[in-house]
Amino acid sequence: MLHELMKHAIEIGADVLRQTEEACKDADLIIHTFTHAVGAHTLAREKNIPDIHIQTFPMFTPSGDYPNVALPDLGVRTLNRLTHKLSEKITWWTSRVGFEHVRRRAGLRKRKLYWPFEDDPFCPRAPILCAWSPSILPASSDWPPRTHITGYYFLPLSKTYQPSRELQAFLQSGKNPVCITFGSMINRDVERIDYIVRESLQQTSNRGVILSGWSGVGNRSSKDPLYLEAVRLIEKYSNDFHTHHL
């Protein structure tokens, strides 16, 4: 996993750095996510402006309640917390090594990188806003300061969106369904997970739309629940919008 992440980051790294600097040219605040936390925080330090980190899953919020998302629950709070610390160290190390590869290949200037999630006498750690519902994952008592759960964020729905014929027919054939999405999650025991989802829908008397994403859940012969790979409901914004509002 680390090898593939590093390979991908090096391939796109120079373009990401250039586009980020262009987008943040006149910025007063930089908001970043998991994929560019170190680079964006470093740019904020260089510009002497504040930055905020947004998480859609717990990544840089060490806790003993659960392990890092890439590792299993070890059943011991100290060990669970250690998995988060290990992940932070790996991310910090790969960011520095990856940047050096990108810098040399693209002829970029040398740069001192900064880690966003530790106290610094010259700059406070970046606040972390967790973009999920506390009903799904409540705040942990051992979280570091400046970490807050805000609830989910939603982009505007498309006013011109039209569902596919298959989805339209399903929506019109009964009561409003529950939507279950796997996104980029991959599970070795996907058949068992799929069975649990189907049983849950049946026991709660709900219809369902299952967005399989990368999960490997395939279409079933039954028409309920309805299996789709993805459904796009948001507006597509122009590059100018992203550049202006980053």
For β-strands 51-55 and 147-149, DSSP reports them as: unpaired
Question: Using 50, 70 and 90 to split pLDDT, how confident is the model at 51?
Answer: very high
**Domain assignment of residue 39, yes or no:** yes
- Are 29 and 109 in the same domain? yes
Query: What's the pLDDT at 196?
Result: 92
- Give pLDDT, residue 221: 56
> What distance in Å separates the CA atoms of residue 30 and residue 8, rounded to the nearest whole number?
23
Q: Is the pLDDT of residue 246 over 60?
A: no
Say which amino acid occupies 167.
Answer: L
Q: Which among 198, 205, 189, 196 is positioned nearest to 222, based on CA atoms?
A: 198
User: What domain count does the chain have?
Assistant: 2
Question: Contacts from 97-100 at CB under 8 Å and sequence distance 24+?
Answer: 97/6, 98/6, 98/9, 98/10, 98/13, 99/13, 99/38, 99/39
Say if 124 falls within a structural domain.
yes
pLDDT confidence of residue 168: 92
Q: What is the pLDDT of residues 114-142, one digit of tens each?
A: 999 988 887 888 999 999 999 999 999 99
For residue 225, say if its preceding peptide bond is cis, omega within 30 degrees of 0. Answer: yes
Domain extent at residue 224: 165-228
Digit-coded pLDDT (tens) for 211-242: 888 777 766 655 678 988 888 766 554 444 33
Segment 62-91 mean pLDDT: 92
Confidence of residue 147 (pLDDT cuts 50, 70, 90): very high
Average pLDDT of span 4-23:
83
Q: Is the residue at 136 inside a domain?
A: yes
Average pLDDT over every residue of 29-43: 92
Instruction: Tell me whether residue 139 is in a domain.
Output: yes
The per-residue pLDDT for 245 is 32
Assigned domain for 234 exists: no
Identify the band that residue 10 occupies on the pLDDT scale cut at 50, 70 and 90. Answer: confident
Tens digit of each residue's pLDDT (9 = 90 or more) over 155-186:
887 788 888 899 999 999 999 999 988 877 77
User: pLDDT at position 214, please?
Assistant: 75
Nearest alpha carbon to residue 114 among 189, 56, 30: 30
**Cα 122 to Cα 46: distance, rounded to the nearest angstrom:** 12
Same domain assignment for residues 148 and 214: no
Strand-pairing partners, residue 210, are 180, 227
Listed residue (146, 84, 143, 102) closest to 13, CA to CA: 102
pLDDT of residue 218: 67
**Last residue of one domain, picked from the residues 99, 118, 153:** 153
159 within some domain:
no
Residue 63 to residue 86: CA distance in whole angstroms:
12
| pLDDT score for 236 | 53
> Rounded mean pLDDT of the chain?
85
- The CA distance from 129 to 149, in Å, is 6
Q: Is residue 42 part of a domain?
A: yes
Q: Which of 133, 153, 173 is where one domain is finished?
A: 153
Tokens 């964006």 correspond to: 40
